Every structure is written in structure tokens, then in C-alpha cells.
Structure 1
Amino acid sequence: MAPFARRTLLLASATVLTALAATACGTGADGGDGAGDAGRTQVRIAYQAIPNADLVVKNRKLLEKALPDADVKWVKFDSGADVNTAVIAGSVDLGLAGSSAVAKGLSQPLNIPYKVVWIHDVIGDNEALVARKGIGSVKELKGRKVAAPFGSTTHYSLLAALEEAGLEQSDVKLVDLQPQDALAAWQRGDIDAAYVWTPTLSELEKDGTVLVTSREIAAQGKPTADLGIVTETFAEKHPDVVDAWLKAEDQAVELARKSPDEAAAAIGAELNLEPAEAKEQLGQLVLLTAEEQAGADHLGAPGAPGALAGSLHDAARFLKAQKAVDAVPARSVFEQALAVEELARVTG
């Protein structure tokens, strides 16, 4: 499988950061050390409405069962850019963010102290650029208003699609909208196209035309993925929690592969989808076991960081060219950000 390349982040105002902290952990005052009430470990997990195995872990309470003495809090975010903001605020310990957002988080000026510990999915047909009927190609978007959540994988893929079509970013009117906001703008007639992910994508497809999918963008050499991140502080202080989380994610991937109907039922319950639709959306993603992720094409092993580092580096360089980051660190920085030691603990 090809290596990976998700989901413009400015430091939020103190008011926004305070609100995020309060939402994610009640007080936001523990500085991410995992100390909860009465000495119980607090685990704050950022998740997104993406039909992958992470929602199986949440719905089936796999982590809660593995850690009965911990307080596990799941907090929903709309994009990886929002997850980055929450990490900066000290509101999140573990979470899901797209490869584009992670590449940005590891670059300047953010330099977020987190590590990539899991690959939730390799993005395929579940992310796509949809335009109004009558627009038949990406090139025909010139002069049109196009929405995407800035700093997300779809933003990255949109810029790649424009480049492939011979268009400059300035040739279209880019609008920074989260998926649900993009849907509302689409229904009002305010935008001509949007690059979003499921389940919003399915709504746009009902009366729009898919111009390109992230699977096709990947075939052009710019793949994307949804990644699991953990703050360096939390990983150091609570290796047992990280291990339990990895094992829970791996268990959920195995369930999705062996019993997709069961996994789809859990995902459908989280996304308010019929099981059949959830199963279809799940099938649009590539899920990897822990053992597969430890391979050279992905996260890699201790002393041998995988190809994901190169993909993140390439994504950061792409973002720099788009003026979305100030500077791109050396590839070694991305290699050091791969939590291969943590992954090795659970793969033996």
C-alpha cells in the first residue's frame, strides 16, 4: 500500500481556548497530566464523526472496560484543526486528527508536542469534491465558490485537485466551512462545490456531482489518512492507558473485518445512520491492524520509522507552498513523532 500524506489554524483566543478546555475536561486545569477526581486517571479523547473503528471503541465502551479505574471522556470535534486547538489548550490527551492537520501541528509555528500512535484509516471514497449539477470537472470550478474545512485533509486534497487541474488557489473562491456548515451553505445556494467527508458527503451527493475522490487523489501521489495522536506528556505518564487504547482500537479493527455488520451497527448508532448505510461508509475506508501498522509502509518499528513520516513531511511541504505553515521541519522530526515504541509494546 502506498505511504500516506486530515482533518489555516491560528492560535485561538483565550476565550475560545477556555471554552474548549471546559468542554473537554470540566476544568482544563490539570495540564494534561491525566489526574482526575480522587486520584483516578482522566483520559480525554477527541473523536470525529467518521465511520471507522474508533466509533466502535466508543460505542462498545472497549476502553472503559479495559480501564475500570479511569474516567474516560469522549469529546466530539468537527475537524483536525479543532483537535489541534484543543491540544494546544491542554484539553485533549488522545484523539483523531487527519494527516494534513497533524503535518501542520508538527510544523512551525504550532510545533505541537504530540506523537502519532495509530492510523485510524486510510481515506478513500469517503471524502470527495462535490459540485452542483452542470459543473463537470475540477477545471470548471474556476471563479466558483468552493468550501472545505481549512487545515483538514479535504482542504489538502482540494488544493491537490486544483493543482492537478492546472488551477491556482486564487482561481477559485475558497470558503472555510465545517462539513455541516458547508451542507447548510449548499442548501441555501451559497456555494458551488464542497470537499467534505461522510456523512455530509452523502447528503451533497444526492443532488450534486462528484468531481474527484480522495482515493483518486491518493493515486495521483497525495494520499491522506486519519491518525491517532497522543500528547507526549500523557504518553510518558500513562503508558498503560496508551497500551489499553491501542489494544481497544486493534480489537475494533478486527471486529470490523470479521463481523462488519456488528461494527456497522455500532457506528450507525453513533452517527444516527441505518446499519446498511454505516456499513457502506465503513467499506469506503481502509482499516489496518496493529501488526500491519508496524510495517515499513506505515508507522514502522523501533529504529525503523515507517513511510508515514515521509508522507507527513511531503504534506507539510505542500502546506508550506500554500502558505498554510511558516516553516517545514526536517523529515527526522516527523520520524521522531511516530510512536513506534508504543505500538511495539502491543504488537510484541
Structure 2
Amino acid sequence: MTPSQPRVSTGPSQGRPTRRALLLAALGAAAVAATGCSSGDDGSSGGAKRLRIGYFAFPSGDLLVKNQKLLEKALPDHKISWIKFDSGASVNQAFIGGSLDIAALGSSPFARGIAGSSPIPYKVAFVLDVAGENEALVARKASGITDVAGLKGKTVATPFASTSHYSLLAALEQAGLKASDVKLIDLQPQPILAAWQRGDIDAAYVWLPTLDELRETGVQLISSKEIGAGGKPTLDLAVVSDELIAKDPEAIETWRKVEADGLRRLASDPEGSAQAIAKELGISLADAKAQLSQGVFLTPEQVASADWLGTEGSPGKLATYLTDTGAFLADQKQIDSAPTEETVRKALYLKGLPDGLK
């Protein structure tokens, strides 16, 4: 989630990216680009193991793990490649192309990914964060819009198939509007900022750091924290491929422990964490602190609790949240059919929890 250009080029955004035909159409480009970013061979030469990790340049424990090279230190026998993405739609495409082993992914694109007769072969293994004030709907002050209902007939941009897209649809419904009541435009964060500055759009639902730039000349209408409190929470998850689960489950166990360490560092060393995030994003320390303060980061114990991911043999409420997300997307005609709760439960990788986070 970043306004900068991703190192993985997956082509233009698709309005309905979860339709299998559209995803497969982008498959070739996504697979080639992601592989090209893995810096070298497939990691198998010389007996080395490979981990290709998709991430968002978004304030989180995951970004802290990357900056501090915690995973590299924990898995010295693995060749680890970090690949930056702009949105969940392109992450889904890369997984279909077999170009990723682990990746950050929003709850909405994940629900899309496991929907239909050909679900993407991956599973949720961790919760990176819960969307708070770090994702929001903002209108240009010059537009005169002061509430969500005022968007009727206006032009609104968001990255399609993202958690922001999902939250935008939820916000419109809450305000008594249909998606057809506004002109929705599919734009990634950087093009959103450019369109905003040109005056081409009236409002946008997007995440940090682009969100903070829009706030400078805009008015916030609603945030994902508010929408979540109303029963439609969104999250940044971490998913692992079925192939990795089968071939290298020990690496997943180590990666989980490292991610748990990242969450603990955010809580125990906020100053050092902010410095690492500032360095990774190329922003000031003050901006890094402000951005981190807008997120909702769980403790490792909460991640594996009944309120969220759950434990081996006992899925938590995350299964219900994802099932509800899929049902909402189906009602909004964003996907053809919603994944069942049984499908969602099978798409949670809970082996080793909760002890695996200690």
C-alpha cells in the first residue's frame, strides 16, 4: 500500500479482478515480473531454499521485519526476496502465477481469492493489522461535500478489489447509496493523488501514506475504524501458498515467530520502530510516528485468540468476518458467489497456534 511504483508490474488494474478470466489474462505478465524481482535464480541451486515475500510499503510490523532483516537472520539457509505491491489484486495475480510464497493481503481481496470454483491456493496464517484511521474516505474541500450522502453523482476513486474498495461500498450502503449512485474509478494510490491534484475526482478512499496527502486539502468523511465498529472490519492479513505449506512448513513456523516479534517491537519500542519505518518509507520520524498511531496492531496473543485467527482445531471470529465480507461482495455484485464459511475455515492455516507465536 504505497503511492510509489511497485517493483512488480502486473499491468493495469482490472475492474473485476477476481473473475478468473481477467486474472488469468494478467497471469503471464505478473509471473514474469515477480520472478524478475526475485533477484536471480529460483533459489534451488546449491541446495538453497527460497522464500518470495510480497509486501506493502505500509506502516506495520511486517515492514519492520523487512527493514531489520529479522527473517534473513532467522533463516540464513533461505534465499529471501521481498517484492513490493501496490494492491491486493496484483498480489492475487502473482499467487495464481506461482510467483509468491508469502504475502500481505487485505481481507477483501482474500475473500475474492477463495471465492468461486477455482480458489487461489493459499491460506491465511497471520494477521498483520486491523484497519483503523489509516484507511479513510476523503472528499476535496473544493467539492463542498461534507458527508457520504453528498457523494451522490460525484466521482470517487479507489483501488478496486482492495480493502478500501470494500469499505467504500460499505460506507455508501450505510449512507443509503448504491455503487451506481456515484461514478467509481479504479485507481492505484499514486494515480489517485495525481487525479486529486488535477481536480479530476471529488473524493477517494485510500490508505496511508497517500491518505495523509489527501487530508491536507480534503475533509475526511469516514474511516475504516468507524466502518469496522459498524460490523464490517477490514484487515491486512498474511497468506502462505499451499505449496509452501506442503514443502517447507518449518519456514512458515519461523516466519510466524518473526512476525510476532515485529508486533512486540511495535509495542515495546515505538521510537525504534518508528525510526525503522521512517527509513523504509523515506519519510520523517514524525510522519512515521503519526502513521503508526493510526493503525490497530494486535498482540501475538490476540492474533491467535478466539476473537481473531484462532488456534489449531478452533478457528476464531476471523472466519466469520471473512465469510461476511464475501457475502457482502456477492451482494454488491463484486464477485459471482460468496465463499461458504466452511470454505473460509479451510483457508485458515492454524497449525502450531497458539504456541507457534511464542
Please say whether Structure 1 and Structure 2 have the same fold, judged by a TM-score greater than 0.5.
yes
User: Superposition pairs for residues 22-171 of structure 1, below 5 Å?
Assistant: 22-26=32-36, 36-108=44-116, 110-133=118-141, 134-171=144-181
Matched AA of 2:52: R
2:13 corresponding residue in structure 1 = none
Q: Is the CA contact 1:132–1:192 (under 8 Å) kept in the aligned structure 2?
A: yes
Displacement of 1:198: 0.2
Displacement of 1:302: 1.5
Unaligned runs of 5+ in 1: 1-7, 29-33
**Separation in 2, partners of 1:291, 1:124:** 20
1:177 corresponding residue in structure 2 = 187
**Separation in 1, partners of 2:354, 2:116:** 29
Displacement of 1:326: 1.3
**Separation in 2, partners of 1:306, 1:38:** 41
Q: Larger deviation: 214-223 or 9-18?
A: 9-18
Displacement of 1:235: 1.4
Question: Alpha carbons of 1:13 and 1:288: their partners in 2 closer, same or farther (altered >3 Å)?
Answer: closer
Displacement of 1:188: 1.1
**Separation in 2, partners of 1:35, 1:71:** 6
Q: Is the CA contact 1:246–1:343 (under 8 Å) kept in the aligned structure 2?
A: no
CA deviation map 1:165-216 (0-9, x unaligned): 1011100000000111111111111110000000000000000110000011
Matched AA of 1:336: K
**Separation in 1, partners of 2:135, 2:37:** 35
Displacement of 1:110: 4.8
User: Superposition pairs for residues 283-302 of structure 1, below 5 Å?
Assistant: 283-302=293-312
1:275 corresponding residue in structure 2 = 285
Displacement of 1:240: 1.4
1:5 corresponding residue in structure 2 = none
Number of residues of Structure 1 aligned to a counterpart in Structure 2: 336
Q: Is the CA contact 2:55–2:104 (under 8 Å) kept in the aligned structure 1?
A: yes
**Separation in 2, partners of 1:70, 1:312:** 32
**Separation in 2, partners of 1:88, 1:216:** 33
Asked if 1:238 is matched to 2:248, the reply is yes
**Separation in 1, partners of 2:354, 2:247:** 18
CA deviation map 1:233-288 (0-9, x unaligned): 11121111111111111111111101111111111111111112111111111112
The SS at the match of 1:340 is coil
Give the alignment partner of residue 263 of structure 1, picking from 273, 277, 294: 273
Matched AA of 1:39: G
Percent identical residues: 50
Q: Is the CA contact 2:26–2:93 (under 8 Å) kept in the aligned structure 1?
A: no
Q: Is the CA contact 1:117–1:343 (under 8 Å) kept in the aligned structure 2?
A: no
* Greater RCO structure (CA 8 Å; 6+ sep): 1
Give the alignment partner of residue 19 of structure 1, picking from 29, 32, 39: 29
**Separation in 1, partners of 2:123, 2:312:** 14
**Separation in 2, partners of 1:230, 1:180:** 28
1:320 corresponding residue in structure 2 = 330
Q: Is the CA contact 1:122–1:224 (under 8 Å) kept in the aligned structure 2?
A: yes
CA deviation map 1:98-141 (0-9, x unaligned): 00011111111551111100000011000000001121011111
**Separation in 2, partners of 1:316, 1:15:** 23
TM normalised by structure 2 equals 0.90
Asked if 1:206 is matched to 2:219, the reply is no
Question: Alpha carbons of 1:107 and 1:70: their partners in 2 closer, same or farther (altered >3 Å)?
Answer: same
2:205 corresponding residue in structure 1 = 195
Q: Larger deviation: 311-320 or 289-298?
A: 289-298
Matched AA of 1:138: V
The SS at the match of 1:341 is coil
Matched AA of 1:283: S
The SS at the match of 1:227 is strand
1:3 corresponding residue in structure 2 = none
Displacement of 1:50: 1.2
The SS at the match of 1:209 is strand
Q: Is the CA contact 2:116–2:339 (under 8 Å) kept in the aligned structure 1?
A: yes
1:220 corresponding residue in structure 2 = 230
Matched AA of 2:65: V
**Separation in 1, partners of 2:118, 2:304:** 27
The SS at the match of 1:295 is coil
The SS at the match of 2:157 is strand
Question: Alpha carbons of 1:38 and 1:250: their partners in 2 closer, same or farther (altered >3 Å)?
Answer: same
